[in-house]
Amino acid sequence: MACVSRAAIIGGGVAGLAAGIALRKAGVECDLVELVGGAEGASLGLSGRAAEALADLDIYDECYANGTPWEADTRAASQSDAAGNMISPGPARPNWPGARTPVGIYRPKLAEILENKARSLGVNIRIGVSAESITETDAGAVVKFSDGVEGTYDLVIGADGIKSRTREMIFPDAPSPRYSGQVSIRWMAPGPKIVEEGWYNGPLGRVGFYYLPQGMIYVPAVVDMPELRRMTPEEEYAYYVRLLESYTAPAIVELRRRLTPDAKLIFRPFNWILVPDIWHKGRTLLIGDAAHATTAHMGMGAGMALEDAVVLGQCIAQAETLEQAFERFMARRYERVKTVVETSVAASQLELRNAPTAEKMALLATGLKAIAQPY
């Protein structure tokens, strides 16, 4: 029997919805609030133990059916130069008997799958609502919501992302997110599949892509921008055109042909944060990007959020007290996510120094090997 009976989840992204599923599977009543709702139209890669987390949440098969499986012979992680000549097959990804096939999945589709699963299990979801305050009392944590509702909970989960208000409320002295010196540009390109999937390293940045069954190609790019600057949509488009035109690889040339001025480009700075090794105070716990946002160099940000949720559900189900559950959760999560954040940021720094590709691949392979162990 779970050590708590009622939980509030603040944030309805990957971490929050997955936490709702995991806690409901443990028998906990859950209220989940999400201020914005909807998911931005990019894609996520779920490999390694993240695929196992999908299975623990009973959604792996649906994600596999609606995503792009990365079989052992895929080029998805390969590294080529600007002309299309392969430099490296990519970092070595550890395998183990019974390992599930990694998948890339359209983020709105994953959000839909998670939300449908959470609702089917009885998670009470309210969109357009945020938490305004959390007050510890003898009876529980009293949460006041922006829609005027107030509830008392045994457990409060802050899953509200890198700009977490929950983190600000319970840890006002926590470190602020830091800028890595690089920017991510994401584009969902129209049209049929292009065979030469993988990453291409050019003079202005690196560009990768893979096809999604929704009839789109996910095209992420990473560019150095040591001094972050704001740009208008027109400036972003011109910047992206210059990036793609710096390649002669046929695959990138074909992507450039598909780019039009009305394309929706998602420019985001690679910011990161790692809250020190206590993510809980009173009855409130931070998970996902609220506690450990990372750059995408290991492709494990969403995977760590999914793992957080699964491990939390297990700890709540197995512990005798909430404090014991928190202690077990931190013991299983902190060093693991620390590896992901620190390895990812170190890979970003190598790119900023224009280090050899082999050096970055070796770093990533070491990090991936470390987190290949069960969570």
Q: Are residues 170 and 190 in the same domain?
A: no
At 258, which helix (H) or strand (E)? helix 250-258
Residue 33 lies in a domain: yes
Count the Cβ atoms, other than its own, within 10 Å of residue 358: 11
Does the structure show a pLDDT above 90 at 160?
yes
Residue 88 lies in a domain: no
Mean predicted confidence (pLDDT) in 352-357 = 94
Residue 83 lies in a domain: no
Q: Say what the pLDDT of residue 331 is.
A: 98
Q: Are residues 170 and 280 in the same domain?
A: yes
Q: Are residues 228 and 119 in the same domain?
A: no
Residue 170 lies in a domain: yes
Does the structure show a pLDDT above 90 at 189?
yes
Q: Are residues 19 and 66 in the same domain?
A: yes
Q: What percent of the chain has pLDDT over 90?
A: 92
Residue 50 lies in a domain: yes
Q: Are residues 72 and 125 in the same domain?
A: yes
Q: Are residues 43 and 168 in the same domain?
A: yes
Instruction: Report the distance separating Cα 269 and Cα 305, nearest Å.
Output: 20
Q: Are residues 171 and 314 in the same domain?
A: yes
Where a domain ends, among 270, 297, 318? 270
Q: How confident is the model at residue 348 (pLDDT cuts 50, 70, 90)?
A: very high
Model confidence over 111-154: pLDDT tens digits? 999 999 999 999 999 999 999 999 999 999 999 999 999 999 99
Residue 312 lies in a domain: yes
Q: Are residues 119 and 226 in the same domain?
A: no
Q: Are residues 232 and 117 in the same domain?
A: no
Pairing of strands 150-153, 205-212: unpaired
DSSP letter (8 states) at residue 195: S
The percent helix, strand, coil of the chain (3-state, each to 5) is 35, 25, 35
Q: How many domains does the chain have?
A: 2
Q: Write the CATH number for 245.
A: 3.30.9.30
Q: Say what the pLDDT of residue 272 is.
A: 98
Does the structure show a pLDDT above 80 at 99?
yes
Where a domain ends, among 270, 288, 307? 270
Instruction: Report the distance separating Cα 77 and Cα 347, nearest Å.
Output: 15
Separation of CA 184 from chain center: 13
* DSSP letter for each residue of 17-34: HHHHHHHHHTT-EEEEEE
State which residues form the domain around 317.
6-77+94-176+272-370
Q: Are residues 365 and 227 in the same domain?
A: no
Q: Write the CATH number for 300.
A: 3.50.50.60
Residue 82 lies in a domain: no
Where a domain ends, among 270, 295, 329? 270
Residue 255 lies in a domain: yes
Q: How confident is the model at residue 90 (pLDDT cuts 50, 70, 90)?
A: confident
Model confidence over 192-203: pLDDT tens digits? 999 899 999 999
Instruction: Fill in the amino acid letter for 81.
Output: D
Calculate the alpha carbon distances from 230 to 11, 221, 234, 242, 307 in Å: 27, 17, 12, 17, 34
Q: Are residues 114 and 231 in the same domain?
A: no
Q: Are residues 218 and 263 in the same domain?
A: yes
Q: Say what the pLDDT of residue 95 is.
A: 84
Instruction: With CA atoms as reference, report the closest residue to 53 among 88, 14, 3, 2.
Output: 14
Enumerate residues 6+ apart whose C-beta is below 8 A from 337. Answer: 274, 291, 292, 294, 304, 308
pTM: 0.96
Q: What percent of the chain has pLDDT over 70?
A: 99
Does the structure show a pLDDT above 80 at 92?
no
